[in-house]
Amino acid sequence: MSFLAERLNRIDASGIRKVFALATKLENPINLSIGQPDYDVDEEVKLVAIDAIKAGFNRYTQTWGIEELREACSDYYKRSFGVGLENVMITCGVSGGLYLALLATVNPGDEVIFADPYFVMYKHLVNLLGGRPVPVDTYPDFRLTAERVSRYITSKTKIILINSPANPTGVTLTTDELRDLAELARKNGLLVISDEIYECLSFDGPRVSMAGMYENTIILNGLSKIAGMTGWRIGYAAGPSEIIQAMNTLQQYTFVCAPSFAQVAAVKALQRDHSPKVLSYRNKRNLIYGGLKSIGYEVVKPQGAFYIFPEAPGCDGDAFVAEAIRNRLLIIPGSVFSEHKSHFRISFAASEEEIKKGLLVLERLFSLWKR
C-alpha cells in the first residue's frame, strides 16, 4: 500500500529543477537555464538584514507581515504606477502568494485560464487543488489578448491568471491589453490574479500593472528578481479584503510568516534605485536576441524579464535541448512550459561572456540541425 496522496499523481517534478540538477554533474557547463539573477543582494540591503539579526529581530512576525513593509509595498506601487495597494500581506515569495491565492479561491472543477506558454507552477498548482487548468494557445506571438481568452471562457471559468512580463517568453502586455483583459473579467464576473514579479524588468516602454484596473484583482509581486533575494523568500499580495484575509488565515496554517529579518531588509530593497540592473539586462536581451536572429532562429523579441523563447530547428525542442546539454549548454525544453514542444527557453540572467559562449554552441547546433 502506498502512503502517498492521490493528488500527487496530478503533478510532475519540475523540468527546470531536472536541468538544474544536471548542472551539478557537468564539468564547466554553460548555464543559460535558471531564472535567477546573476547579481547578489545589494550590500546596503544585506547590512539592514544583518543589523536586524543582531538586534534580535529573529522571531515570528504577524502572519500578514510587518506594517513597515506592507506600507512600503503600497508606496512602491504608488510611485511606480500612481495607484497604492490595499490590503497588503507579505508572503513567502510570489510562489507562496500564488499558492495561497489559488488555495483560497479554487474549488474542484473550477477552470483557471492562463497563457500557453506558462510559468510551470500555474498548471500544476491548479491540478493539485482539483481545478482545471485552461492554457490559452498564444503562439506564435505569445500575447494573451482578451480576444483569445474569450474563446476559452465557460460556465466553469473562475480565474484569469496573467503574467506580464512573462516567463518563459519575456513578452510584456500593453496597458490597453491589460485593460481589455480586466474588462473581459468584469463582464464575466471573473477573478484576476496578476503575477507581476518581472514588472520591474521592462526594457522598451513604460512599466505596466493591473493595479487599479479592476476591483477583483489579486496583485502578486516580490523581491526575488530585481533585488536578487531569491533565497530570502519575500513576496507580497494585495487585493479584495475577503480573499486576502482568507489567504492570511491559510498562511497561519502553512508558512506561518515570511522570514522576519528579510522583511526588514525588503523595505530597503523596495526603496533603492535598480535602474542599472534593468539597463544591464536590456543590453543582454539585445545581445541574445541579435545573436539568435543573425544565426537564423525564429524568435520573438522579449520586452521584459530575462528570458527568450526561440523555436527549435526542426520544431523538436526536447531533442534539441538534449543535444545542447550533450554540448555542455544548459537550456530548458519548451515542453516544460507549454502543451507544445517546438521551442526552448534561454535565461539571459548570466554574464555577457556566458551568453556569447552559449551563442557559439547554438550557432553550431543550428547549422547541424538544418542540414
Rounded to whole angstroms, how far apart are CA atoms 125 and 129?
6
Pick the CATH number of 6-41+275-369 from 3.90.1150.10, 3.30.460.10, 3.30.450.20, 2.40.50.100: 3.90.1150.10
Q: What pLDDT, on a 0 to 100 scale, did the predictor assign at position 16?
A: 59
Rounded to whole angstroms, how far apart are CA atoms 307 and 319?
20
Can you tell me whether residue 305 is helix, strand or coil?
coil
Q: What pLDDT, on a 0 to 100 scale, did the predictor assign at position 35?
A: 87
Q: Tell me the C-alpha to C-alpha distance, in Å, between residue 240 and each of 187, 210, 247.
A: 18, 14, 11
Q: What pLDDT, on a 0 to 100 scale, did the predictor assign at position 249?
A: 98
Exposed, middle or buried by CB within 10 Å (0-12, 13-18, 19+), for 169? Answer: buried
Q: Are 182 and 213 in contact (CB under 8 A)?
A: yes
Q: What pLDDT, on a 0 to 100 scale, did the predictor assign at position 10?
A: 79
Rounded to whole angstroms, how far apart are CA atoms 82 and 345?
34
Q: What pLDDT, on a 0 to 100 scale, did the predictor assign at position 297?
A: 97
Find residue 308's DSSP bridge partners.
Answer: 346
- Region of residue 168 (left: phi > 0; alpha: psi -120 to 50; beta: else): alpha
Q: Which residue do the cell numbers 482545471 mark?
A: 132
Encoded amino acid at 78, one letter:
K
Q: Which residue do the cell numbers 490597453 mark?
A: 176
Encoded amino acid at 1, one letter:
M
Encoded amino acid at 80, one letter:
S
Q: Are 196 and 221 in contact (CB under 8 A)?
A: yes
The three cell numbers of residue 38 are 546573476
Q: What pTM did the predictor assign?
A: 0.95
Domain 57-271 adopts which CATH fold?
Answer: Aspartate Aminotransferase; domain 2 (3.40.640)
The three cell numbers of residue 128 are 493539485
Q: What pLDDT, on a 0 to 100 scale, did the predictor assign at position 123?
A: 96
What are the two backbone dihedrals, phi and then psi, of residue 15, each rounded to the nearest 5 degrees?
A: -65, -30
Element containing residue 237 per DSSP (H, E): strand 235-238
User: Which is nearest to 237 in space by CA: 300, 177, 298, 193?
Assistant: 193
Domain 6-41+275-369 and domain 57-271 have a common topology: no
The 307-308 sheet, strands edge to edge? 307-308, 344-347, 332-333
Long-range contacts formed by 35-39: CB under 8 A, 24+ apart:
35/167, 35/225, 35/306, 35/307, 35/347, 35/349, 36/230, 36/347, 36/349, 37/225, 37/226, 37/228, 37/230, 37/277, 37/306, 37/349, 38/349, 38/350, 38/351, 39/228, 39/277
DSSP track, 73-92:
HHHHHHHHHS---SS-EEES
Rounded to whole angstroms, how far apart are CA atoms 267 and 90?
12
Residues in the chain with pLDDT < 70? 13-24, 370-371
pLDDT tens per residue, range 151-204: 999 999 999 999 999 999 999 999 999 999 999 999 999 999 999 999 999 999
Q: What pLDDT, on a 0 to 100 scale, did the predictor assign at position 299?
A: 98
The per-residue b/e assignment along 305-323, b for 16 or more CB within 10 angstroms, e otherwise, is bbbbbbbbbeebbeebbeb
Q: What pLDDT, on a 0 to 100 scale, did the predictor assign at position 51?
A: 97
Domain boundaries, the chain: 6-41+275-369, 57-271
Rounded to whole angstroms, how far apart are CA atoms 235 and 219?
11
Q: What pLDDT, on a 0 to 100 scale, did the predictor assign at position 12?
A: 74
The three cell numbers of residue 245 are 484575509
